[in-house]
A and B are shown apart, each in its own frame.
Chain A
């Protein structure tokens, strides 16, 4: 279980998504770039050319390294590319949330949390 102090200072959201999703979410005002020395962005734009390793690296950075992120939003079709990592991720913080993208409609069957919900209800 997460300790109490762990989520006190988690105040940002992070996005891994295609260009449209990231643009929209940035317009909502979730974008944040840390202070100049490292200039870490809390979003990653993934297109067809981005390789899986860099997605994994970003996922790793958002979930384990950075301590100021409370929610990681990830497009479902991108989550599919690192499905193993997403499925084996069991921590409560930060929360991984799979979101639909413009070109890929949302499929509840693939969502790792919804699958757990379904399994619990014995469907």
Chain B
């Protein structure tokens, strides 16, 4: 039915029918494109989640090794060096930089670690003893932090992708379940209204034709009747009939026309 479903407020004209058809076509194209985008993103997303899972486990191991090497340092230096290190930290040697990667129109950041040259805050650490262990510990921790940075970029990508996939899916569903049915409803409504108008028009024409036919038939019957009547009269007395009929037909016989004045 035309009025049953949700539809847009348009006048049922052929022009708006054309517009609606174009709109439906656009919506269908958009739907298939978005669907494909969503699938591509989901594929990527699953890949990332799997890698996160692996990286998290790897991180557990790496951090364990790193803290073991720190314990070695504590043993070798013969005391806690934490305070000294916290005080001597001034400028970050290990920094990160964000790059972008484009996945079906979504910009995913990826962190990349780099070492700045020249500043070494811990030149004095382990100078007395345990210098070698400190050096090894620094390397171990640097590797651990690299793993952490990798994991962090995966995780950022995960968060952003999650968000984007939600948005895209919402759009896909909106088009599939709201816009397309609504446009279809509108088209149906316009079609039925136009059909209705057509039927009305047809009925009106039929009525007019009927009326005309009836009028002609009535006129015919009248004429026939008059003819018959006149014929009957004619049989009875021909003379008046002849006078009557001759009067208007014989134009030349008329005595004088009145002047036509414009």
Interface residues of A, Cβ cutoff 8 Å to B: 1-2, 4, 7-8, 10-13, 19-33, 41-43, 45, 70-71, 73, 90-93, 95-97, 99-102, 105-106, 108, 111, 113-114, 116-117, 120-121
Contact = CB atoms under 8 A, between A and B. Distances in A.
Contact of A33 (B52, B91, B159, B162): B91
A28 B73 CA distance: 14
Given A1-B160, A116-B162, A26 B86 contact: yes
B163 interface: yes
A20 B67 contact: yes
A117 B62 CA distance: 22
B233 to A, nearest CB: 103
Given A20-B82, A30-B94, A113 B60 contact: no
Contacts of B98: 7-8, 10, 70
Contacts of A1: 160, 163-164
Contacts of A25: 141, 145
B63 A99 contact: yes
A114 B156 contact: no
Contacts, number: 159
Given A20-B67, A71-B149, A12 B92 contact: yes
B172 interface: no
Interface string B201-228: 0000000000000000000000000000
A35 to B, nearest CB: 10
Given A12-B92, A12-B96, A71 B142 contact: no
Interface string B106-143: 01010100010000011001000000001001100110
B238 interface: no
Interface residues of B, number: 56
6 contacts: A30-B145, A43-B86, A92-B160, A93-B156, A113-B52, A113-B159
Contact of A31 (B89, B100, B109, B134): B89
A42 to B, nearest CB: 7
B36 interface: no
Contact of A23 (B86, B93, B115): B86
Interface string B70-94: 1100000000111001100111111
A24 B92 contact: no
B138 A29 contact: yes
Residue of B86, B138, B156 most packed against chain A (CB within 10 A): B156
A114 B96 contact: no
Contacts of A20: 67, 70, 82
A17 to B, nearest CB: 11
B148 A92 contact: no
A29 B115 contact: yes
A24 B66 contact: yes
Nearest to B100: A4
Given A20-B82, A71-B152, A97-B151, A42 B92 contact: yes
Residue of B59, B144, B155 most packed against chain A (CB within 10 A): B155
A26 B109 contact: no
Contact of B56 (A95, A111, A121): A111
